[in-house]
Chains A and B, each alone.
Chain A
Amino acid sequence: MFTTQVPWLTTLILLPLVAAFAVPLIPDKDGKTLRWYGLGVGLVELALTVYLAATQFDRTAVGFQLSETYAWLPQLGVNWSVAVDGISLPLLVLTAFVNTLALMAAWRVSHKPRLFYGLMLALYGAQMGVFVAKDLLLFFTMWELELVPVYLLISIWGGPKRLYAATKFILYTALASLFILVAGLGLAFSGDRITFDLAELGLKEYPAALELFAYVGFLIAFAVKLPMFPVHTWLPDAHGEASAPVSMVLAGILLKMGGYGLIRMNMELLPNAHIHFAPVLVVLGVVNIVYGAFAAFGQTNLKRRLAYSSVSHMGFVLIGLASFTEVGLNGAMLQMLSHGLIAAALFFLAGAAYDRTHTLMMDEMSGLAQQMPKIFALFTVAAMASLALPGMSGFVSELTVFLGMANSDAYSLSFKTVIVFLSAVGLILTPIYLLSMLREVFYGEAKAETTPDHWFSDANPREVFIAVCFLLPIIGIGLYPKLAMTSYDTKTVHIAQKVGAALPIFATVEPQEMTAERDLFPLTPALIAPPLD
């Protein structure tokens, strides 16, 4: 079992976790050692991840790489088994990037700093674990491991309604993540061999009923995390109440765990069931986009508006996943990466503005541009990226999703037209709510009561640095998308083929059922793939 190769991925998981447990032992008299400690661990982790991605990772390979397997609980068939492939590696780099910057953004935390840094580091390790786990129970463990740190991070350092938001978060997520375990047990015990290894589970053949059941289980868990309408309601509360560094991690990484899970479990393990549910995903994706945009428009709280914009943007991921094309899947991946950067940047800047104005209500802020021109400029660039301005990553990813959907041969033309049209409506709404946000917060006359006594200071170099760190890759990917795409292209093509391969088989097996559905609901997609002879 033991290889002479360096256990890179295990190190990536354990380094932040061990560092988190060591936090109580760090001498910290003036409250400054800890933040350097946290940042140092984050930077080492980031450096390791980038080193792995740059030198150890083979972009042309399809399967799992850098695998490490150690017997952990052989009685249960559970191994400590970690590996990366094309879809986990970019997200791994994103995780290290966002978390390290979040640790830097948390420079000013003075309330219970010891607990804060301990929890942030534990959360860091758990996220890394989710993306590298190759064993379903290890995945579940890491998935659950992140619950309590997030709960405490929201409920101690959050806004006025933090307790409500934190409780809502933990109940939603804990209840939903049970279904990962249930579905996982169902898959593991199917067939003649108990295994939780994802690669082996992918090779098993499942009975149709079990596959549908497991798909629904995974979907519930990941839909809550993503979040998908109608189980998104925890998100505006959690993101709105959490402090800026925590919001950055929540919006930047935790949502992506849902999308990653959908690709890893639902599409890779259960391609046959994916065909049944893909239309549902598309429809809910559109609902996400349009509903999220309208709801964002109705918010007066800055962070809640950004939170709903996350709901809206994650809808594109759903559409991309369900498009049955590699272009669409590529778009979904890129949208996750791009949204991870953009949302983290926006939440960070919203936090920076909040630090100065001490309010998140947009009607109480006005004319901030005069007083903080740097924050205004950075905020504007991030908002432009979010509304998919050409040249920014958001534009490329959303365009790719549209292309994928439009080129998909799995859906009928009328269905595709309606979907693309409605998503385009959502795209028009995005600038409306983002620009009106900019107008309310930054333009206009400064509020009389705030001007004379409280002259807000502009962003300090640290804050500018963090924001620029986010904006550079956003523009870089926007101008040259291959920068990100090369890492996962091979893998997404493979998955799209695997899912696509299930398509004609399905069409021949149950053509009757599908026509009946088409008659009932004109909008339901008809599978027009030719029957196999």
Chain B
Amino acid sequence: MDLSNDLAAQLNAGAILPEGLVIVTLMAVLVIDLIVGRKASSWLPYVAIAGLFATVAALVLQWDNPNPLAFFDSFNSDDLSVIFRGIIALSTVITILMSIRYIEQSGTSLAEFMAIMLTATLGAMFLSGANDLVMIFVSLETLSISSYLMTGYTKRDPRSNEAALKYLLIGAASSAIFLYGVSLLYGLSGGETNLAQIAAQLAQGDSDQALGLAIALVFSIAGIAFKISAVPFHQWTPDVYEGSPTPVVAFLSVGSKAAGFALALRMLLTAFESVTVEWHFIFTALAILSMILGNVVALAQTSMKRMLAYSSIAQAGFVMLGMIAGTEAGYASMVFYLLIYLFMNLGAFTCVILFSLRTGTDQISDYAGLYQKDALLTLALSICLLSLGGIPPMAGFFGKIYLFWAGWQAGLYGLVLLGLVTSVISIYYYIRVVKMMVVKEPQEMSDAVQNYPPIRWNLTGMRPLQVGIVFSLITTSLAGILSNPLLTLANNSITQTDLFHVANAAAVETVAQVAEDADPVAQ
């Protein structure tokens, strides 16, 4: 009896209640599909969405969990993981909303798609809280393998096949590299798999480990950078984004990326705490390259999805700025930006899906003159793109301001300046699309828009799409002005997480400028 109580306390299984709910939803979707068949496809998505909302509710209950460690410290359900899991679950909700019609039109089974999507969500959520090398790798692979499956989901489309193959090959290689780095870490720490234990072992390790540790660091970062598609590990992004079904791209650009950032934070701040200066250096390089390359190459794109791919690379560069700042404000600005990015990027993808469902094209030039035919779609896409470009009063502006604010506070003047300049470049390509839709005269309308079908929201799966568009439109335009609750949420998730108290002290010690400009607000 005693033993079982002890075991239950150590397992602390309640910490993964949200994930449990995702699993239940996943099973329910599979079983219902098996029993009821295709007839269920009209209401099955709502089962999944209800399950995910239950997951979010469970996450809300997990907030400020006094006892976050579960399964022998291999899973950490602290506030940081809660907020990242929330972002991932919400991104799946919106992705399912937008995929109903898309999958219907592509003639494939919706239930299977949702099952894979939920599996990916599960992996991503576990990854956000994973505190143990084995746990990290297992959840990373769960996420990755279901992502490969999803990218190739429209199997009759050769571009989708190509995307899946590319993603699989590069992804498998990067997983292998990551695994190699992790195995080095395991050896260097004398056989520990828990991140905190590794940090403790490494801290007292001798100096001849330096080379091994450096390789472990570089290889781990390579694996993480692949997930968040930071330059130079971004090569897969444009091709995969262009070829994959658009809802999958939406999930990859938000949910999967958020999981990558959660992994990066947890791993780098605990296991690699002793090499903070080094990983800051590497991430600075990644951020600079991502911001420059992402924004500059996006200028030249003619396909909407490729443009959004490069834009997401650039956005990852901005988010990294908060990580490099290494202060609580920096991490909070990261979380805040990801929260906002969730709405604006998914909003943009929802609009792209709606447009391609009605016209069958993703070319930017085909958007010409859309304002005359579909004002709502034009408005929503314009607002989301302008928000991504950081134009006030949209949410993205405030997200960027906070990132730059935190960066400046931490003394990253050069990076902030670069971020500002590249975000002006980004305005150019975002506004190009807006210009295409709004400014073009009726006689300059593209053929696709000229043959634009009459707007009908009563087709199967169109209503959820409309809900998704209106929801992201409202949040993107209001979340900035009324961003106080979101900011508080982001700040609390950081201040109430133990991870950062240790990390923050280390960062202040190592980064001289931070100590110099340290101010009462950040402390």
Contact = CB atoms under 8 A, between A and B. Distances in A.
Interface string A186-200: 100100111000000
Interface in A136-174: 137, 141-142, 144-145, 147-148, 151-152, 155-156, 163, 167, 170-171, 174
B11 to A, nearest CB: 37
Interface stretch (B100-108, B141-149, B166-174, B389-397): B389-397
A368 B393 CA distance: 45
A74 B487 CA distance: 9
B519 A73 contact: no
Interface residues of B, number: 37
Interface in B384-422: 386, 391-393, 397-398, 401-402, 404-405, 408-409, 416-417, 420-421
A188 to B, nearest CB: 8
A178 interface: yes
Contacts of B391: 144-145, 147-148
A376 to B, nearest CB: 34
A155 B437 CA distance: 12
B401 A137 contact: yes
| Residue in B371, B392, B409, B487 with the greatest tally of chain A CB atoms within 10 Å | B392
A152 B440 CA distance: 11
Contact of B416 (A115, A151, A185, A192): A185
A364 B145 CA distance: 70
B392 A141 contact: yes
B488 interface: yes
Given A73-B487, A115-B438, A189-B409, A182 B416 contact: yes
Contacts of B488: 75
A126 B431 CA distance: 19
A73 B491 CA distance: 12
B424 interface: yes
Given A141-B393, A147-B391, A175 B484 contact: no
Contact of B401 (A24, A76, A174, A193): A76
Interface in A47-87: 71-77
Contacts of A103: none
B455 interface: no
Contacts of B409: 189, 194
Contacts of A186: 408
- Residue of B424, B438, B488, B519 contacting most chain A CB atoms (<10 Å): B424
A144 B521 contact: no
B99 to A, nearest CB: 29
Contacts of A73: 398, 483-484, 487
Contact of A189 (B375, B484, B519): B519
Given A73-B483, A152-B439, A155-B435, A171 B416 contact: no
A145 B329 CA distance: 25
B165 interface: no
B86 to A, nearest CB: 19
B424 A171 contact: yes
Given A144-B391, A185-B405, A155 B332 contact: no
B424 A178 contact: yes
Interface string A175-214: 1001001100110010011100000000000000000000
A185 B397 contact: no
B520 to A, nearest CB: 7
A148 B386 contact: yes
A117 to B, nearest CB: 15
Nearest to B402: A76
A73 B490 CA distance: 13
A163 B428 CA distance: 13
Interface string B134-160: 000000000000000000000000000
Chain A CB within 10 A, most for which of B391, B397, B487: B391
Contacts of A148: 386, 391, 431
B439 A178 contact: no
A72 B491 CA distance: 15
B484 A178 contact: no
B517 interface: yes
B427 interface: yes
Contacts of A115: 371, 438
A145 B438 contact: no
Nearest to B409: A189
A151 B517 CA distance: 39
A142 B392 CA distance: 8
B404 A185 contact: yes
Contacts of B439: 152, 155-156, 163
Nearest to A112: B371
A163 B431 CA distance: 12
Interface string B70-104: 00000000000000000000000000000000000
Contacts of A147: 391
Given A73-B483, A115-B438, A137-B401, A189 B424 contact: no
B327 to A, nearest CB: 12
B521 A77 contact: yes
B12 to A, nearest CB: 32
Nearest to B477: A21
Contacts of A189: 408-409, 517, 519
Contacts of B398: 73
Contact of A141 (B397, B417, B435): B397
Interface string A338-349: 000000000000
A37 to B, nearest CB: 18
A144 B392 contact: yes
Given A170-B427, A194-B519, A145 B392 contact: yes
A156 B521 contact: no
B404 A181 contact: yes
A24 B375 CA distance: 10
Contacts of A145: 391-393
Contacts of B427: 170, 174
Nearest to B432: A167
A343 B329 CA distance: 46
Interface string A113-139: 001000000000000000000000100
A194 B405 CA distance: 11
B420 A182 contact: yes
Q: Which one of A144, A185, A193 has the greatest number of beta carbons of chain B within 10 Å?
A: A185
Contact of A178 (B329, B392, B420): B420
A457 B184 CA distance: 86
A43 B491 CA distance: 43
A156 B397 contact: no
A128 to B, nearest CB: 14
Nearest to B435: A155
Contacts of B420: 178, 181-182
Interface string B418-448: 0011001001100100110011000000000
Interface string B160-192: 000000000000000000000000000000000
A299 B450 CA distance: 41
Given A170-B427, A182-B420, A156 B438 contact: yes
Contact of B424 (A156, A167, A175, A194): A175
Given A141-B397, A144-B391, A75 B431 contact: no
Contact of A144 (B397, B435, B438, B517): B397
Interface string B471-505: 00000000000011001100100000000000000
Given A137-B401, A141-B392, A189-B408, A178 B521 contact: no
Contacts of B416: 182, 185
Contacts of A71: 484
27 contacts: A24-B375, A71-B484, A72-B484, A73-B487, A75-B329, A76-B401, A76-B487, A115-B371, A115-B438, A141-B392, A141-B393, A142-B392, A144-B391, A145-B391, A147-B391, A148-B386, A151-B431, A152-B434, A167-B428, A170-B427, A175-B421, A178-B421, A181-B420, A182-B420, A185-B404, A189-B517, A192-B520
Given A74-B484, A170-B427, 4 more contacts: A112-B371, A148-B431, A151-B431, A171-B424
Q: Considering the complex of A and B, which 5 residue pairs feature the smallest CB-CB distances, nearest first?
A: A185-B408, A178-B420, A141-B392, A155-B439, A145-B392
